[in-house]
Chains A and B, each alone.
Chain A
Amino acid sequence: AQSVTQLGSHVSVSEGALVLLRCNYSSSVPPYLFWYVQYPNQGLQLLLKYTSAATLVKGINGFEAEFKKSETSFHLTKPSAHMSDAAEYFCAVSSGGSYIPTFGRGTSLIVHP
């Protein structure tokens, strides 16, 4: 079985501050891990993915995430927030034997000027 927990339904940061969105997963086999972003009234688009290569994954728009097996975590970070980063962010996991991805409940990122 696989599952994803995103801590915090809302995260608020000031423009220029560090962004940290938390994701913990559960999987009985090595997982594929994903972060997706959703802007208002749009579909989701892939930010980055981990597929058992480098543990530090760089994505679009300056985001990156680090896979930590010992902590079963895949937190999303960005050194300096922009107003345009305000959106909903979803962590997802899929693992061997179940190609169907499981999504977290999402974290809404709010960026203050």
Chain B
Amino acid sequence: SQTIHQWPATLVQPVGSPLSLECTVEGTSNPNLYWYRQAAGRGLQLLFYSVGIGQISSEVPQNLSASRPQDRQFILSSKKLLLSDSGFYLCACQGSNEKLFFGSGTQLSVL
């Protein structure tokens, strides 16, 4: 089955600094990949999804971008972080029968 590696686990960044969160997948090829954000006490917000290398779809306009330079690598980035970018970021890989496998998440605090 798929294994999702996501790092770092926690990150504290000042407002205006750049961001790069990385997610890699093992145990599958050509997966659908997702980035979600979870604000404190709220549900999951889909940010980006990708069905293949270089193919990125954005669900909400915002200060973030995503890239998929390799089949099993999905990167979430920002050039200048805002306070509102704080949250728990989750990477997910879609397996058979459309179920999702999630990484362990990155807790981002923008101060």
Contacts and interface: CB of A to CB of B under 8 A. Distances in A.
Interface stretch (B12-20, B61-69, B70-78, B99-107): B99-107
A47 to B, nearest CB: 10
B43 A90 contact: yes
Nearest to A93: B98
A99 B99 contact: no
B39 to A, nearest CB: 11
Interface in B16-57: 32, 34, 42-44, 46, 49
A109 to B, nearest CB: 15
* Contact residues of B: prevailing secondary structure: strand
Contacts, number: 52
A31 to B, nearest CB: 10
A38 to B, nearest CB: 8
Nearest to A104: B43
Contact of A105 (B43, B46, B101, B103): B43
B104 A43 contact: yes
Contacts of A90: 43-44
B105 A43 contact: yes
A103 B43 contact: yes
* Contact residues of A: prevailing secondary structure: strand
A106 B90 CA distance: 15
A15 B107 CA distance: 30
B97 A49 contact: yes
B94 A41 contact: no
Contacts of A49: 97, 99
A94 B34 CA distance: 14
Given A32-B97, A99-B98, A101-B100, A41 B44 contact: no
B43 A44 contact: no
Interface of B: 4, 6, 32, 34, 42-44, 46, 49, 88, 90, 92, 94, 97-105, 107
24 contacts: A32-B97, A34-B99, A41-B88, A41-B105, A41-B107, A42-B104, A43-B4, A43-B90, A43-B92, A44-B90, A44-B92, A46-B99, A46-B100, A49-B99, A51-B97, A90-B43, A92-B100, A100-B34, A100-B46, A101-B98, A103-B43, A104-B43, A105-B43, A106-B43
